[in-house]
Chains A and B, each alone.
Chain A
Amino acid sequence: MVYMTYLLLIGLVLGLAAVASNPSPYFAALGLVTVAGMSCGILVGYGGSFLSLILFLIYLGGMLVVFAYSAALASEPYPEGWGSWPVSTLMLVYVLLVVCVSVFFSGGWFEGSWVTVDEFSEFTLFRGDSGGVALMYSSGGGVLMLGGWVLLLTLFVVLELTRGLSRGTLRAV
């Protein structure tokens, strides 16, 4: 189980190095999808299966799909993957940087606890992370209303930003 979490963490760091080396946006979106998949696995390994489901649904299924559709705006005839010279050099530099800095911080790597959250009570259906999110509806009702209001406001922001014929917020559009 610990080896699985180690592999997922290594995959996370390598996938983020692939995104941070700024290839063509097609490949960067692919790298971000694999990073989100690895991090969902890490969350499940620590016992947060509901939060992992929310991440898959909302982040991968909502936001990254919109980014993938917007990648059509960044089209170019010869997209640069990780085989081109500047991108692969940057990725190598980032991975080497992470490995070299880890020498300074590798003191307490085997002292942390890998115990998952829901091992403390055997006969309950009350999972920790689901119960924590349910508090958003009871004690955190104000933040829920605020979040809904902000999402509605963002809809109007996007409308005014992309309203054409100089009628929106940007005169040039």
Chain B
Amino acid sequence: MTLTHYAFSSSYFMSFLGLIFYRKHLLSALLCLEAMMLILFISLCLWGLILASTVFSAGPMILLAFSACEASAGLALLVAMARTHGTDRLKNLSLLRC
């Protein structure tokens, strides 16, 4: 495995671990999700660039458009959570529930 390949694979798994072991805020989990999308974008770009076949360079652009959709849906859920619970701390979801 080359250094670039290892760096992107390990950073993808590391941001996945950061998404799994979330701490307090929903927004920091959403930022880890955005980091995963960024690593996917760079990996798809580098795939075509390293193999010198740039026909697939349109693929990462479509990925960027769809990840913008996903980010906006996540942020809409964050806004909804801030409206009902006043904050985006995840412990507030299970606080004071009958």
- Using CB atoms and an 8 Å cutoff, list the residues of chain A in contact with chain B: 5-6, 9, 12-13, 16-17, 19-25, 28-29, 32, 35-36, 39, 42-43, 46-48, 51, 54-55, 58-59, 62-64, 66-67, 70-71, 73-74, 86, 90, 94, 97-98, 101-102, 105-109, 111-113, 115-117, 120, 128-129, 131-133, 135-136, 140, 143, 147, 150-151, 153-154, 157-158, 161-162, 164, 170, 172-173
Contact = CB atoms under 8 A, between A and B. Distances in A.
Contacts of B65: 147, 150-151
- A interface SS class: helix
Interface of B: 1-7, 10-11, 14-15, 17-19, 21-32, 34-35, 38-39, 41-42, 45-46, 48-50, 52, 54-58, 60-62, 64-69, 71-73, 75-80, 82-84, 87-88
A6 B27 contact: no
A6 B2 CA distance: 12
Contacts of A19: 15, 18, 31-32, 35
12 contacts: A23-B28, A24-B25, A28-B32, A74-B87, A94-B18, A109-B2, A109-B3, A128-B57, A129-B45, A129-B49, A147-B62, A158-B72
A135 B61 contact: no
A164 to B, nearest CB: 7
- B interface SS class: helix
A102 B42 CA distance: 20
Contacts, number: 226
Contacts of B67: 63
A64 B15 CA distance: 17
Contacts of B29: 22
B41 to A, nearest CB: 7
B10 A136 contact: no
A70 B3 contact: no
Contacts of A20: 14-15, 17-19, 32, 35
B29 to A, nearest CB: 8
A106 B7 CA distance: 11
Contacts of B79: 70, 73, 161-162
A133 B57 CA distance: 5
A-B interface, 3 closest residue pairs, ranked by CB to CB distance from nearest: A20-B18, A132-B57, A112-B2
A24 B28 contact: yes
Contacts of B30: 67
A109 B6 CA distance: 9
Contacts of A42: 4, 42, 46
Contacts of A12: 7, 11
